Amino acid sequence: MRYRTIGSNPQTRREVSVLSLGAMLFGTRTDQDTAFAILDRFVEAGGTFIDTSNNYAFWETGSQGGESETVIGNWRRSRGIGDEIVIATKLGARPLAPGTSYVDNAEGLGAKVIRESAEASRERLGVEKLDLLYAHIEDPGTELAETVEGFAALVEDGTVGLLGVSNHWAWKVERARALAAAAGLPGYEVLQYHHTYLRRRTDVPGQLSQDGDIGVFSGDLQNYVRANSDLTLVAYSPLLAGVYTRTDKPLDYGLEHAGTPKRREVLDAVARETGATVNQVVLSWLIDSDLPTIPLAGASSLAQLNENLAAVDLELTAEQRARLDAAH
């Protein structure tokens, strides 16, 4: 396993594995025994970075979520896991009632919600401190200053380490970080967005905004990370839920454009040259990106996890990376 540091403050920064394990479906589609086996194997291979959320996976059961955090907490207690494993979770997108959705009924990012939801996550995970806590989605109904101060208060209390943000427009991320810096408060240092080798259109309206897909690692965000050395990208859904390898999973509309076949052609060629799978090439391309990037990949079986883990040791040549980058 290889590792990289997230965060810039010596008191809160952490060294984590360059591959993060997504636990979104643990406790729902993936039963606890299987989840335990996947977690055990990930740690055995040197993995130290696990990702979840307080609303995972409400859509599977009609609940408000929390099943994933509960399974991770059960695993930690049964295995005697301490702070050597970094667990990231999120708040702000938990539905306020069972059977509803975060799209129109989310808990939001008010100071009271931040404190109460963080406490509930700590209880489910069985930890005294949340290593990394994200603002999951935007909350237009709450002033940014209140959200910034709410997260910072948890860091000051010692119940949260690093702060992160996901699914926000780039200008909102910058404004929140500027507010935190001006007040001498800790701000967002980890960005979690969808990023993969195939390029996704950003002008297609998403669930959260008619102005485009707010969850994509857009050019604005890429340039922002490039200009701010304290930031790290955690790239979610890098393997497109099986689209790269499964013929029964068609591309979604956001990936259907003229550049996709060209990039796919080069990707397939590099996979043949290396003897690796397409998924492994995608993960390797992300891990060794010129931007500090940690791919976040879920797994529902040990076979899937082992395939992902092998990508950490895959070294693409400079010529292969240049061809992959240039395809458009």
Residues in contact with 259: Cβ distance below 8 Å, sequence separation at least 6, in sequence order: 199, 327, 328
Segments making up each domain of the chain, as ranges: 3-246+282-314
Compute φ and ψ for 116, nearest 5 degrees.
Answer: -70, -40
Predicted pLDDT of residue 145: 98
Predicted pLDDT of residue 205: 84
CATH tag, 3-246+282-314:
3.20.20.100
Closest CA to 20 of 221, 151, 219, 192: 192
Predicted pLDDT of residue 237: 97
Q: What is the DSSP string of 215-230?
A: TB--HHHHHHHHH-TT
Residue type, 130: L
Tokens of 216: 């994509």
Predicted pLDDT of residue 207: 79
Predicted pLDDT of residue 177: 98
- pLDDT reading at 247 higher than 90: no
Average pLDDT for residues 248-273, to the nearest whole number?
94
Q: What is the DSSP string of 271-300?
A: HHHHT--HHHHHHHHHHT-SS-EEEEEE-S
Neighbours of 141 (CB within 10 A): 9
Beta strands in the chain (DSSP E): 3-6, 14-17, 20-22, 49-51, 86-91, 130-135, 160-166, 190-194, 232-236, 293-298
- pLDDT reading at 179 higher than 90: yes
Predicted pLDDT of residue 206: 79
Beta partners for residue 192, in sequence order: 166, 234
Cα–Cα distance measured from residue 198 to residue 238, given in angstroms and rounded to the nearest whole number: 9
Q: Give 108-148 pLDDT, tens digit per residue.
A: 999 999 999 999 999 999 999 999 999 999 999 999 999 99
Q: Give 270-300 pLDDT, tens digit per residue.
A: 999 999 999 999 999 999 999 999 999 999 9
Average pLDDT, the chain: 96
Compute φ and ψ for 294, nearest 5 degrees.
Answer: -120, 110
Average pLDDT for residues 10-14, to the nearest whole number?
93
pLDDT band at 211 (very low <50, low <70, confident <90, very high): confident
Predicted pLDDT of residue 204: 84
Predicted pLDDT of residue 203: 86
What's the gap between Cα 250 and its chain centre? 23
Average pLDDT for residues 228-256, to the nearest whole number?
93
**Number of residues assigned to the chain:** 328
- pLDDT reading at 81 higher than 90: yes
Predicted pLDDT of residue 244: 95
Q: Are the beta carbons of 302 and 37 closer than 8 angstroms?
A: yes
- Helix (H/G/I), strand (E/B), else coil: 20: strand
